[in-house]
Amino acid sequence: MSAAIETRSLRKVYPAPPAKRGRGGPAPSKTPSPVVALDALDLTVDEGELFGMLGPNGAGKTTTIGILTTRVRVSGGEAIVAGANVVSEAAVVRRRIGVVPQRPNPDRGLSVVENLIFHASYFGVARAEATKRANELLERLGIADKRDGKVDALSGGQQQRLMIARALTHDPRIIFLDEPTVGLDPQARLGLWETLRELHAQGRTIVMSTHYMEEADQLCDRLAIIDQGKLLALDTPSRLKAQAPGDTLVEVTFDADVAPVVDAARALDGVSNAEGRGVLLRVFSRRGGQIIPALIDAGEARGLTVRDIHLSRPSLETLFISLTGRKLA
Amino acid sequence: MTDDYVPPSRVFGAILLRDVTVARRELPYFLLRTTLQPLLFVIIFGFVLPRMGMIPRGYTATVLPGVLALSLTLSAVQSVSLPMVQDFGFTNEIEDRLLAPAPIKLVAVEKVVSGTLQGTIAAVVVLPLARLIMGPIPGLTFGHLWMLVLVTVLSGAAFAAIGLFLGTAIAPQHIGLMFSVILGPMIMFGCTYYPWAGLKVVPAMKYAVLINPLVYVSEGMRAALTPSMPHMSVPVMLAALLATTVVFLTLGLRAFDKRAMK
């Protein structure tokens, strides 16, 4: 299988935001520094793959998609998309990709069907062929009844479907979707999953970003876990889950700082790792929930009272926490 | 799968067709926005006041080219800058064109061409209406048609380029300032309501207004429509319009690129 996307040491640094100063207030104490959004990212996406990028907000997912879709300047390294370089052959890349933006941005000067016809025409598709494709796509995505209406009349989910239809009008090899299900109601989200599965079944390469673990788990062939501009893990969802440390993540919230308890918790039989974050004690347990009484005792012996207990089975979420010490959303 | 090469000219044509389609639908609003103000001026200064004897009748010969210059330049500036501010600032609608398989600057150049067209349309609508309202105008001739076309296209391009620069360089929340701080003084000091030669009574102003590109449009219209009246030297006027176009197109393309590519 050949690579649809390949990045080598991809780096993106945004210039420092201009210093903001309140009216008459003192100058800010520290000067803002440039933001490293991507730090030496190496990725390979195979042709026909449904590839996911999972990470919290600000992880660098949108920047990565921005670079791969030629819409964000590269600071270092290189990226090859559909056989062309995103910097030196940007127009060639754009011809071969379809992009579904994070927030729907249909052309409000045009009707629903015109959005598709004109977009296809920007890619050199002749009018008759563009109209035929537009009608087919509207039918397939279930918004054919809105064909001649204004885009403002579409619901959020319908606008998202219009964006997908738009990304398909010029028959691209790779489709990029940036957090496509944010802001969709559960039904629209399931509908979108269905659409993505269909496109995947047709053999198209799909790259999507998400911060919903369940979505990444259910849809993607392979997943890149990204945080703070770095690739932390890259594998199939099932193999990633197998990498999750311990068996179960037990999170115990106490009424005071847990620092005194951490060492005691780590020493318990069946605990693979433990860490404290303020009043939250995170323990990776090989004995599942059986460890809980010992944790409560350890806390009470040091004068702490339990406020809340939460168990998570090994999942992408627990893997993410073990890799970053942070939650996904 | 579509993989054939798409010539940039084809992409350009498709994007231009999109703007023409949208502009045609918006035509009544477009004309209201860009021609109402100049026409109101024509009614008062070209019809009412001369009839009252407060303004000499010959003043219409000064006002007609000025009013044409005003409608042409205002509509060219606005038709580029307003959508640009909206697209980059809030809606991101322009994104679907930025993803077209052509150099990104082509989208900006297309906006300038479309702005030039819209400016020309505004001028073409205002000219007969103004002539109708003001009655016979001393010295008006259409014998210099080539000059009229040249001045119109060059002025439209110059102000569409200014619109590109303003639309990409001004923060969306400051767009109101564009009208009051930039366009307002530009109109008043643009030799639209008086000939440039007349400023000899205030010599300092006569030379200070030369930094205002609208001056060259007004004087260009005078050279084309009422050539027997005093007007600026034609080569100077054309050179200034050309320079304005080149400078603001360069600045505008640079600012556009900065906004379009993060």
CA distance B79 to B86: 12
**Which chain A residues have a beta carbon less than 8 Å from that of B95?**
71, 101, 105
A100 in helix, strand or coil?
strand
Cβ <8 Å between A103 and B92: yes
Cβ <8 Å between A119 and B261: no
- Closest chain A C-alpha to B4 CA, distance in angstroms: 9
Q: What are phi and psi of B12, to 5 degrees?
A: -60, -50
Tell me the two tokens of residue B55: 């303004």
Residue B255's pLDDT is 92
Cα R_g (chain A), whole angstroms: 24
pLDDT digits (tens, 9 = 90+) for A24-35: 545 555 667 888
Mean pLDDT calculated for residue range A61-80: 92
DSSP state for residue A268 in the 8-state scheme:
S
DSSP state for residue A107 in the 8-state scheme:
-
In a domain, B170, yes or no: yes
pLDDT greater than 80 at residue A1: no
Q: Give the CA angle between residues B223, B133, B53 to the nearest 5°.
A: 90
Architecture of the domain delimited by A3-17+33-239: 3-Layer(aba) Sandwich (3.40)
Q: Which of residues 233-262 of B touch A (CB under 8 A)?
A: 261-262
Buried b (16+ CB within 10 A) or exposed e, B176-189: eebeeeebeebbeb
> A308 - beta bridge partners?
A253
Q: Which has the closest alpha carbon to A233: A137, A143, A107, A323? A: A323
- Closest chain A C-alpha to B112 CA, distance in angstroms: 18
- The three state secondary structure string of chain B is CCCCCCCHHHHHHHHHHHHHHHHHHCHHHHHHHHHHHHHHHHHHHHHHHHHHCCCCCCHHHHHHHHHHHHHHHHHHHHHHHHHHHHHHHHHCCCHHHHCCCCCCHHHHHHHHHHHHHHHHHHHHHHHHHHHHHHCCCCCCCCCCHHHHHHHHHHHHHHHHHHHHHHHHHCCHHHHHHHHHHHHHHHHHCCCCCCCHHHHHHCHHHHHHHHHCHHHHHHHHHHHHHCCCCCCCCHHHHHHHHHHHHHHHHHHHHHHHHHHHCC
Neighbours of B16 (CB within 10 A): 16
Most confident by average pLDDT, B21-25, B111-115, B194-198: B111-115
In a domain, B1, yes or no: no
Residue B120's pLDDT is 94
Residue A222's pLDDT is 94
- Residues in Cβ contact with A92 at an 8 Å cutoff, skipping those fewer than 6 apart: A82, A83, A84, B101
Single pTM value for the model: 0.84
pLDDT digits (tens, 9 = 90+) for A253-307: 999 898 888 888 888 888 888 888 889 998 888 888 888 898 898 899 888 899 9
Buried b (16+ CB within 10 A) or exposed e, A156-195: ebbbbbbbbbbbbbbebbbbbbbbbbbebeeebbebbeeb
Q: Which has the closest alpha carbon to B241: B114, B147, B176, B125? A: B147
Measured between alpha carbons, how far is residue B24 from residues A36, B30, B106 in Å?
Answer: 45, 9, 22
Percentage of chain B lying above the pLDDT 70 cut: 98
- Closest chain B C-alpha to A119 CA, distance in angstroms: 7
CA distance B97 to B89: 16
Residue A315's pLDDT is 77
Residue B204's pLDDT is 92
Point out the residue among A92, A108, A122 whose CB comes nearest to the CB of B100: A122
Mean pLDDT calculated for residue range A131-158: 91
Q: Which has the closest alpha carbon to B213: B167, B242, B244? A: B244
What is the pairing mode between strands A84-85 and A248-254?
A: unpaired
Domain A245-313: which CATH class?
A: alpha beta
Nearest CA in chain B to A94: B101
- Closest chain B C-alpha to A94 CA, distance in angstroms: 5
pLDDT greater than 80 at residue B247: yes
Task: Map out the domains of chain A as residue ranges.
Answer: 3-17+33-239, 245-313
Confidence of residue B2 (pLDDT cuts 50, 70, 90): very low
How would DSSP label each residue in A193-220? Answer: HHHHHHHHHTT-EEEEEES-HHHHHHH-
Question: Percent helix, strand and coil across chain A, each rounded to 5?
Answer: 35, 30, 35
CA distance A140 to A162: 11
CA distance B51 to B36: 21
- Residues in Cβ contact with B13 at an 8 Å cutoff, skipping those fewer than 6 apart: none
Interface contact A132, partner B, CB < 8 A: no
Query: How many structural domains are present in chain B?
Result: 1
Q: In whole angstroms, what separates CA B174 from the centre of its chain?
A: 21
Tell me the two tokens of residue B198: 């007349």
Residue B1's pLDDT is 45
DSSP state for residue A323 in the 8-state scheme:
H
In a domain, B50, yes or no: yes
pLDDT greater than 60 at residue B191: yes
Asked whether this complex has an ipTM greater than 0.85, the answer is yes
Alpha helices in A82-184 (DSSP H): 90-96, 112-122, 127-140, 156-168
Q: Which has the closest alpha carbon to B250: B153, B157, B120? A: B157
**Which chain A residues have a beta carbon less than 8 Å from that of B98?**
71
Run of H or E including A264: helix A259-267
Lowest mean pLDDT among A80-89, A238-247, B37-46, B94-103: A238-247
In a domain, B3, yes or no: no
Residue B3's pLDDT is 57
Cβ <8 Å between B101 and A95: yes
In a domain, B2, yes or no: no
**Which chain A residues have a beta carbon less than 8 Å from that of B262?**
14, 66, 71-73
pLDDT greater than 50 at residue B171: yes
pLDDT digits (tens, 9 = 90+) for B124-137: 999 999 989 988 88
- Domain range for B47 is 8-260
Plot region of B180 (φ>0 → left; ψ -120 to 50 → alpha; else → beta): alpha
Mean pLDDT calculated for residue range A83-88: 91
Lowest mean pLDDT among A186-200, B74-88, B154-168: A186-200
pLDDT digits (tens, 9 = 90+) for A163-220: 999 999 999 999 999 988 887 788 878 888 888 999 899 989 999 998 888 888 888 9
